[in-house]
Structures are given as structure tokens and as C-alpha cells.
């Protein structure tokens, strides 16, 4: 795809998607039939607070879409909640299907291209209680769920089967860690900077990895066989491993089960979702902590906006140049919206550089459209739009208007002016 040059901004190709993303469990609220709801409300887990009403987007999605359209975006990535569609095995909620069909139609009516994710971390409680992604028929059940939601996907041509399967496989390893050491140890690790949640420290579950790849392929076959013109992919959490001198083989060993196998599984897909936030440094003895004095986010991650461009370059290297890329998540957890703009400016500049080098990038989705529930806590604020926890009033931040104006203009920042430092995230 040829990309023209102009000044200090990159003119985006025709049809480029510029939007923001959410996930059902993190914004809808009261997802009572899901495994995450059960975990949040169980005693002695790492969860600080349950999701509760979250951002009440189950009822307020029209307002959310109106805001995105008014801000200048042309696309919205959201997910369907399997636990709402099939709250008990084999029992399909027609009301839930109608709800998500209304969301697809609502996006289209507003001129927002809907990018729909079928599974964003949370599963029905019954699915997890019978073994989840370790159960022998898990892939078959997910393919069945895909068949169930086919009827509501018309018009949403770009479908992601699974969000960050490498993180899902990691979650199962974390649960094994908690079973051996107790949830209190996991919670303490998180309170001290989230080390136990680092993909560089715990290996993803191998059985779950194989099952997720099979589930993706079966779901992709269902979608392609439906004749709806669906473009199918999945999204991978890109870790952007930086090897210290002499640690190249160690870094490669970490990357293999945590990222490479999931990128390789996308080689036959219609597109691949890149999700990048920070980098992970690896030394000869393994993963390294964030350097002393480096700016960090509210999640404890190093502020490293250039991770986005590096993730895109690595994805092209692994999947091949013939698999188009959509940046399905990129953002920063901060209470300083100026830091959000500075981070995103640099991230987009790194993306523009890769596009100039020939990367076939078809879209960019900021994480997140809303301040939302970050899997156990509301403290990390990723949103372009603030949400009052009591009234649920939505307030677009300056970053939303800045990024929306870029989307409306069909441009993203180039390298010039993107060298400003990004401070540590303020609480």
C-alpha cells in the first residue's frame, strides 16, 4: 500500500480505521454469568474491587458511540460477551443477541466501522468450571459460539476471534501459581509493581496455547464458511523484548512461548491485531525490572511509546508482509492527560515510520475509549473519555479531541516533534 509523504504528518491511506477500543466485561457492568464476575466476588483473590456496574456501557453504548463519532473517529472496536449470549451451556439468550446486533447496527448508522471481538478474556462461568481452555472440547464449544453469533455480525466485516491469546494462556499459568502459593502472594506481587503479572516471569500454559490456536482456527473456518465476507484475525499482546548485550538467546527463549507461536498462527489470517504498550528488557539471567528513574505508568510499566512501531516491525517479520496489520490496542495508564497526548504522539510517529517503510497497516485503535475496569481495579485510567463512577457521566479529555481531530483529518504525526519526554503517570 503506497503511503504519500507530507510535512511532519503522514497522510493515511483511504479506508484507514482510526478509533478507540473497549471490551465488554470492562465497560458493560453486571456480567454476572462470567468467570471473571465469579473471581471478582470470591474471597481472597488478587482483586481489589469487583467490576460492579463498570461504566454501565451495556445501557449507555449509544452515548459512547455518539461521542466517538462527534470527536472525529471513524471506527469502534468492541466485544461480544459469550457469558451473556450463552449464560448456561446450550441456552442462548435471544435478548443478548438482539443487544449486540443493535450495537453493530448502531455503529454502522453512525458511520463507525465496527470491529468486533468474539472473546476478550472473560468466558461463561460454566465454561471455566468444566475446565475452560484446558477442556478437550473447548475449541469445539468456541466454534459453536461463533456459529451462534453469526446472525448478528452482518456489516462488521472485520472480526477478531480471540483477544490476546498469549495473555489468556498466561492467566491460566497465573492461576496455577496462585493455587501453589495462594492468591495473597499474587496480590502482594501486584501491589509491589505487578511483577507476577509480567509475561516475562511466568510461562503461558502449553495446553491452553494449543487449544486457543485450534479454537481460533475453528472459529475462523466458521466465519469464512458463512459467506458474509468476514475478514478474520486475532490480536496478540506484543511484548517488545529488548535483549541486553549477550542476552539475545535468552530473550528469544522468552519470546517463543509468549509471543512467537501466536504470531505464527496468524500467517493464514486476513489480518493480525497488534497490541503494544511498553517493552520488556531481558538480561543474561532473565527478565529485568524497569530501570531506576525511568518514567512509569499507573500499571507500573515503563513509559516506552516506541514499542508500537517496534511491535509492528516484529509482527511483519514473523507473520509476513502479506498479512495486513491493525493496531487494535495502544495507550497509557495515566492521570495526566498531557502525558497521554505526548505518549500517543510518539507512538503514532513510530507507527508512521513503519508505514513509510512498507508495513501494511490498516487501522489504529486507542486503548481505551473509556476509563474502565482494569481486571481487578479502577485505578489505572487508560480512557480518552472520563467516566464518573457514580453518575456515569462521560467527559471527553483533551487527548480525545486531539486524537479525534487527527482521525477526522486522516493524518497521524510523523517523527518531527515526537521527541518530547513523557513524564511518569500521575495518580
pLDDT tens digits along 370-426: 999 999 999 999 999 999 999 999 999 999 999 999 999 999 998 755 566 777 765
Does position 42 have pLDDT exceeding 60, yes or no?
yes
C-alpha cell at 214: 485450534
Closest CA to 167 of 115, 126, 208: 208
Report the mean per-residue pLDDT for the chain.
Answer: 92
Chain segment 133-192, per-residue pLDDT in tens:
999 999 999 999 999 999 999 999 899 999 999 999 998 988 887 777 666 665 555 444
Mean per-residue pLDDT for 204-223?
97
When pLDDT is cut at 50, 70 and 90, the band that residue 199 belongs to is very low
Please list the residues that pair with 79 across neighbouring strands: 117
pLDDT at 251: 95
Closest CA to 100 of 163, 159, 40: 159
When pLDDT is cut at 50, 70 and 90, the band that residue 193 belongs to is very low
Does position 5 have pLDDT exceeding 90, yes or no?
no
Closest CA to 331 of 362, 357, 297: 297
Q: Report DSSP state, residue 259.
A: I
Above pLDDT 70, what percent of the chain?
91
Q: Quote the CA–CA distance of 26 and 176 in Å, as a whole number.
A: 24
pLDDT at 95: 98
pLDDT at 194: 43
CB atoms within 10 A of CB 284: 14
Please list the residues that pair with 387 across neighbouring strands: 394
CB 372 within 8 A of CB 79: no
Does position 204 have pLDDT exceeding 70, yes or no?
yes
Does position 202 have pLDDT exceeding 80, yes or no?
no
Does position 252 have pLDDT exceeding 60, yes or no?
yes
* Inter-CA distances, 268 with 168, 220, 321, 322, 388, Å: 21, 10, 12, 9, 43
Mean per-residue pLDDT for 101-130?
98
Mean per-residue pLDDT for 48-52?
96
Chain segment 306-358, per-residue pLDDT in tens:
999 999 999 999 999 999 999 999 999 999 999 999 999 999 999 999 999 99
C-alpha cell at 365: 485503535
pTM more than 0.85: yes
Domain architecture of the chain: domains with CATH: 5-413 (3.20.20.80)
DSSP H or E stretch at residue 66: helix 57-71
Geometric angle at alpha carbon 101, from 97 and 104, rounded to 5°: 145
Amino acid at each position: 500500500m503506497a503511503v504519500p509523504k507530507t510535512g511532519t504528518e503522514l497522510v493515511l491511506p483511504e479506508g484507514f480505521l482510526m478509533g478507540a477500543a473497549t471490551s465488554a466485561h470492562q465497560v458493560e457492568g453486571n456480567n454476572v454469568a462470567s468467570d471473571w464476575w465469579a473471581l471478582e466476588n470470591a474471597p481472597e483473590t488478587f482483586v481489589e474491587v469487583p467490576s460492579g456496574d463498570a461504566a454501565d456501557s451495556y445501557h449507555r453504548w449509544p452515548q459512547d458511540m455518539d461521542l466517538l463519532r462527534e470527536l472525529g473517529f471513524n471506527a469502534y472496536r468492541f466485544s461480544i460477551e459469550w457469558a451473556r449470549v450463552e449464560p448456561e451451556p446450550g441456552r442462548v439468550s435471544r435478548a443478548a443477541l438482539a443487544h449486540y446486533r443493535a450495537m453493530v447496527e448502531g455503529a454502522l448508522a453512525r458511520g463507525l466501522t465496527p470491529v468486533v471481538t468474539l472473546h476478550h478474556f472473560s468466558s461463561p462461568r460454566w465454561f471455566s468450571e468444566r475446565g475452560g481452555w484446558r477442556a478437550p472440547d473447548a475449541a469445539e464449544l468456541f466454534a459453536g459460539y461463533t456459529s451462534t453469533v453469526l446472525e448478528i455480525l452482518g456489516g462488521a466485516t472485520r472480526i477478531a476471534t480471540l483477544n490476546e491469546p498469549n495473555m489468556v494462556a498466561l492467566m491460566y499459568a497465573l492461576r496455577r501459581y496462585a493455587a501453589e502459593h495462594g492468591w495473597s502472594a499474587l496480590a502482594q506481587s501486584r501491589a509491589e509493581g505487578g511483577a507476577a503479572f509480567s509475561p516475562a516471569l511466568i510461562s503461558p500454559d502449553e495446553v491452553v496455547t494449543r487449544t486457543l490456536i485450534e479454537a481460533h482456527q475453528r472459529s475462523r473456518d466458521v466465519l469464512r464458511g458463512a459467506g458474509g465476507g468476514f475478514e478474520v484475525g486475532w490480536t496478540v499482546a506484543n511484548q517488545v523484548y529488548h535483549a541486553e548485550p549477550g542476552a539475545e538467546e535468552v530473550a528469544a527463549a522468552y519470546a517463543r512461548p509468549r509471543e512467537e507461536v501466536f504470531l505464527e498462527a496468524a500467517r493464514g489470517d486476513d489480518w493480525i491485531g497488534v497490541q503494544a504498550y511498553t517493552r520488556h528488557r531481558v538480561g543474561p539471567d532473565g527478565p529485568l525490572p524497569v530501570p531506576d528513574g525511568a518514567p512509569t505508568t499507573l500499571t507500573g510499566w515503563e513509559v516506552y511509546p516506541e514499542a508500537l512501531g517496534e511491535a509492528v516491525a516484529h509482527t511483519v517479520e514473523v507473520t509476513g508482509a502479506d498479512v495486513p496489520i491493525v493496531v487494535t490496542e495502544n495507550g497509557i495508564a495515566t492521570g495526566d492527560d498531557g502525558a497521554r497526548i505526548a505518549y500517543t504522539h510518539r507512538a503514532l510517529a513510530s507507527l508512521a515510520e513503519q508505514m513509510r517503510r512498507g508495513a501494511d497497516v490498516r487501522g489504529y485503535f486507542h486503548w481505551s475509549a473509556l476509563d474502565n475496569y482494569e481486571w481487578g481495579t479502577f485505578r489505572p485510567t487508560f480512557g480518552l473519555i472520563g467516566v464518573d463512577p457514580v453518575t456515569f457521566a462521560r467527559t471527553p479529555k483533551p487527548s480525545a479531541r486531539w486524537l479525534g481531530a487527527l482521525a477526522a483529518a486522516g493524518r497521524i504525526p510523523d517523527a518531527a516533534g515526537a521527541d518530547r519526554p513523557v513524564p511518569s503517570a500521575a495518580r
